[in-house]
Amino acid sequence: MHGPTADLFADAALQQPPGREQIGEESYVLRGYALPWIDRLLPELRRVLAQSPFRQMVTPGGFTMSAALSSCGALGWTTDSAGYRYTPLDPRSQQPWPTMPDALHEFATRAATEAGFPDFSPDACLINRYVPGAKMSLHQDKNERSYTAPVVSVSLGLPAIFLFGGHERSDKTQKISLFHGDVVVWGGVDRLRFHGVMPIKEGVHPIMGPQRINLTFRTAG
């Protein structure tokens, strides 16, 4: 077998068994943690995206991000020439972002608890869509009002290589393979660590199709 399908099978063979892998002092990968939730999460996600569809946003420096974005919750993350920030309204519709569905909120709080953050109550869920070739450059999540809450990030669809760095952009990064259903949680002393995603490889995921969708839950306000 050759091509993207063969790559996908090769990646699936690398998939890690369920369990909690520590990747930092207060950071974990929860392998397959979202799998039992998928049937609850996907219909809710579809409803959110019907209301606030994916769009490509432009950085303050004028670059169009390769990942397309949407949000749900009281606050949504946006970027344009005026800067990076959270807004209560979807700038495209000038309406509030879709409410965060209960299933998503419950999922995120349980995942956070599993990683040692029992008081997590997210008010923002950023939804990133990566088609093959799309990536996310190394960055820190710094637009939230406080950094006491962790970030909970769930991967759906095509595999990705997540880069988990240190507190300086130039610090060495760990390369962590993430698969459909994996969850990464980082908080506490690790909350401001640089992170990013390498370009997604070609492929077609049996449930999600030719894309990777990532949900990141944060307490922003």
| Sole window of 54-62, 96-104, 153-161, 198-206 interacting with ligand AKG (rule: CB under 6 A) | 153-161
CA angle centred on 189, ends 184 and 191, rounded to 5°: 45
Binding of ligand AKG at residue 70 (CB under 6 A)?
no
129-148 residues in contact with ligand AKG (CB under 6 A) are 136, 141
Binding flags for ligand AKG, 162-191, as an x/- string (CB under 6 A): x-----------------------------
Maximum CA extent, the chain: 50
- Nearest Cα to Cα of residue 199 among 173, 160, 154: 160
Does residue 128 touch ligand AKG according to CB under 6 A?
Answer: yes
Q: Which of 27, 70, 79, 214 binds ligand AKG (CB under 6 A)?
A: 214
Under 8 Å between Cβ of 64 and 56: yes
Instruction: Judge contact between 44 and 105, C-beta under 8 A.
Output: no
Among 153, 173, 211, 219, binds ligand AKG (CB under 6 A): 153
Binding status of residue 197 toward ligand AKG by CB under 6 A: yes
- Site residues (CB under 6 A) for ligand AKG? 126, 128, 136, 141, 153, 155, 160, 162, 195, 197, 214, 216
